[in-house]
Amino acid sequence: MTITAYQRRLLNSPEYQGYGGVRRASKELGIPYNEVYLEIRLKPRGYDSWGEYEHAKWERHSRTKKYTRLSTIIRKGLKKLNKSQAWLANTINESRQIVHTYIQGKAFPQKQGVRRKIETALNLRPRSLEEIVKE
């Protein structure tokens, strides 16, 4: 669905700029929520599409220190043990996909139990991943 010039003017009015404005505009104007969000919230921030926004979001995450440190630790540990990402995924009972995102530096295990399983699987000293979280 394409947003018309008239709808664009309405979306940019102060009425829809505050809290709950996206949902209200979507309902009142009959435009899908994701298109309204793109128009009201993302385009003013310089994003022309959802894909561009998602890419930038992942770039921000992958640059954070704890994500890149975890990535390095896991890569070195796997190389030292001569094991694969699939082996690590099976060992810690997580999907290969999530282990891949850890290695890419795009995610960090939030649960303490998962971090401990990674430490055990890679023969790291206990609580070494906990230190990364505190930084």
**Is-contact 111 96, C-beta < 8 A?**
no
What is the identity of the amino acid at 57?
K
Predicted pLDDT of residue 36: 81
In tens, the pLDDT along 58-114 reads 777 666 778 888 888 899 999 999 999 999 999 999 999 999 999 988 888 888 889
Place of tokens 């975890």: 70
Best CATH choice for the domain 64-134 from the list 2.40.50.430, 1.10.260.40, 3.40.50.11540, 3.40.50.300:
1.10.260.40
Cα separation, 84 vs 33, in Å, equals 41
**Domain boundaries of the chain, sorted by first residue:** 5-59, 64-134
